[in-house]
Structure 1
Amino acid sequence: MIRTLTALALAATVLTGCGGERPAPAPKQQAELPRVTGVLSTKNAKTLFGAENRGSPQKAASYGSYAKGCLAGAVQLPETGPTWQAMRLSRNRNWGHPELIDFVQDLSRKAAAQPGWNGLYVGDISQPRGGPMTSGHASHQIGLDADIWMRPADDLHLSRDTRENISSISMRRSSGAFTNNNWTRAHHEILKAAAQDPRVARIFVFPGAKVQMCNDETGDRAWLRKIRPWWGHHYHFHVRLACPKGARGCVNQTPPPAGDGCADAQAWVNNILNPPPPDPNAPKPKPKRELTMGDLPAQCASVLAAR
């Protein structure tokens, strides 16, 4: 059935930017991207992308936005390297844009220089062809997001079975308002090294960690701008790369506000410790519908179809 659908995609979709055709100039917003059309457009996107177990035989390219896109020509992070191990291998989510795979390996070498760390345990990156995941993430769709475990990678000889069952460790206290005793200066330095990489657009971590880093940093504070507070993210931190230079059809997130962002992170912490009263007039959140292929850039049809 998958092959039938992808064949239909080739007949019903404009394949701009793939299969050797020259891509259109990069749009400024997701809304400006041509969408998948035809019979394929109504199909559940996560079902189709989740069924692919290999990257597409295409030139590497990220299409769409972090939460609504796909990935051509993905590279697989090797399961084990000299300074990293990919975790939860059964998920087959250790695929990414070559720039991200290179970044992860670079950061793992820097992490290996920290006391108690031999490198990194790497969580989810993307599926082999990106796209909406079958579970767990709204983003990670274009191969430019990676989850890095907070657990120090002190053993890089874990078996596949161990990597399925071992867990990371939490760094938070008081629902994320503060760090706990698991937090070390090494965490600060690894996050700092990641944020100082020019390829990185932002890093998501729980609010208390951002405030802790703000309090502890005594040197250049410019890198703190990229560290963004967000719910969860106490077992891992989430690195997001900017669209590669010259990429067409890849949509960057709006840059973080100017400044180090420390006051904003403190406001998050204040709201955790003293939650504002609920607004009785606030509209009830609408349940999110699952993405269809028609929500994705047109190039995603050819990414699925490529064999």
Structure 2
Amino acid sequence: MANTKYYAPTGGHPAQTELLTDRAMFTEAYAIIPKGVMRDIVTSHLPFWDNMRMWVLSRPLSGFAETFSQYIVELAEGGGSDRPEQDPNAEGVVFVVDGEFTLTLEGTTHAMRPGSYAYIPPAATWTLRNSNAAPARFHWVRKYYQAVDGLARPEAFVTNEQDIEPIPMPGTDGKWVTTRFVDMSDMRHDMHVNIVTFEPGAVIPFAETHVMEHGLYVLEGKAVYRLNQDWVEVEAGDYMWLRAFCPQACYSGGPGKFRYLLYKDVNRHMDLGKYNHRG
């Protein structure tokens, strides 16, 4: 696949002359966080990190989406961490959208650039550092790993989107493809973070309604998305956050490709919670 330019936020602050009206919304079934929301004033920071800030796109919320969190992390020159993850039960995925930095994962050092993808298992040893003058920006998806007796935990790995052949959706003549970083048949993994690509005019031709929770960050292009009962316009830099069973479909608007980074939870029994306790 040819090199792709991913959208990444740069912050800033709106002028007093700009209109307040925007596309941000939060409903019982989904949230839209448009790119215009990702300003300096809403950034967060973490312990044991240097020269970094991040936009928190999603986090577990009771009664909404409960399985994952997703950040966009920005590293200035010298930015990074020798203790990036404090929770030994958390697995993660890093996907680079802008700039370059070095990731050392389980003793192996990797040069990370746009399109680079790293899977980080629970309790892994890793560090990262930006030694360049230009900032680097990446998505960081985190989830509690759901171990299964008899299944080994997945190992760490690093790859790049450019090295993976997208898989076409049957019956679409290649106009709807998915770049899969993890084999769907590998039951060790309890989450997938993929890239979905639609050619102009391609559609999801039915309202998907399923148990998986979603985070969809638009990397490129624009589309009209059906979320629950609403049609919403989205473009590069926007984020869609969906709870389980939120109906969803889309039309790719063109003139170029519509692409998004997609999180979903997979391959595990449904947690029965309090209903599992019977007297």
TM-score normalized by the length of structure 1: 0.26
- More helix by percentage: 1
- Of structures 1 and 2, the larger Rg is shown by 1
Q: Which has the higher strand share?
A: 2
For normalisation by structure 2, the TM-score amounts to 0.27
Larger RCO, structures 1/2 (Cα 8 Å, 6+ apart):
1
